[in-house]
Amino acid sequence: MLKEFKQFVLRGNVVDLAVGVVIGAAFGTVITSLTKDILTPLIAAIAGEQDFSALKFVINGSEFTYGSFINAVIAFLLVAAALFFFVVKPINMLMMRRKSEPSPDPTTRDCPECLSEIPIAAKRCAFCTAQLTPAA
């Protein structure tokens, strides 16, 4: 059982997923810091408010800190923009480039009798032994 667990943990996709989660958490921390320490004060300087996280209102003794929500929305938008421009767009460009490459000439065809895959130049099917005309 321990051997199976070791095999499971050391599979490529589990390790890749763990690395992705750790990198994602670190990236989230960097984006949160960028939002709180640079962008929020920059936007606040333009808008006149020094710190969004201090924005709040009170109704019947309940405190609503909508400034923290604004910080979270900005952080989300930054993460989404970074993922879109640095991951999604490059992958889409690679996929489009890969699709635009001409596919190589086929080396096999289907037997008209048994539908097995056979070489193009075959004169007889290896599976059903049907006589075939060679493909041009």
CATH code assigned at 75: 1.10.1200.120
Range of the domain at 78: 2-100
Residues 73 and 46 in one domain: yes
Do 41 and 61 have their domain in common? yes
Say what the pTM is. 0.48
Q: What is the pLDDT of residues 64-115, one digit of tens each?
A: 988 888 878 877 887 778 778 877 788 888 888 877 767 777 889 999 889 9
Contact between residue 17 and residue 25 where contact means Cβ atoms under 8 Å apart: no
Confidence band (pLDDT; 50, 70, 90) for 117?
very high
Mapping DSSP onto H, E and C, the string for the chain reads CHHHHHHHHCCHHHHHHHHHHHHHHHHHHHHHHHHHHHHHHHHHHHHCCCCHHHCCEEECCEEECHHHHHHHHHHHHHHHHHHHHHHHHHHHHHHHHHHHCCCCCCCEEECCCCCCEEECCCCECCCCCCECCCCC
* Residues 43, 77 share a domain: yes
Same domain assignment for residues 83 and 135:
no
Q: Are residues 27 and 46 in the same domain?
A: yes
Residues 95 and 75 in one domain: yes
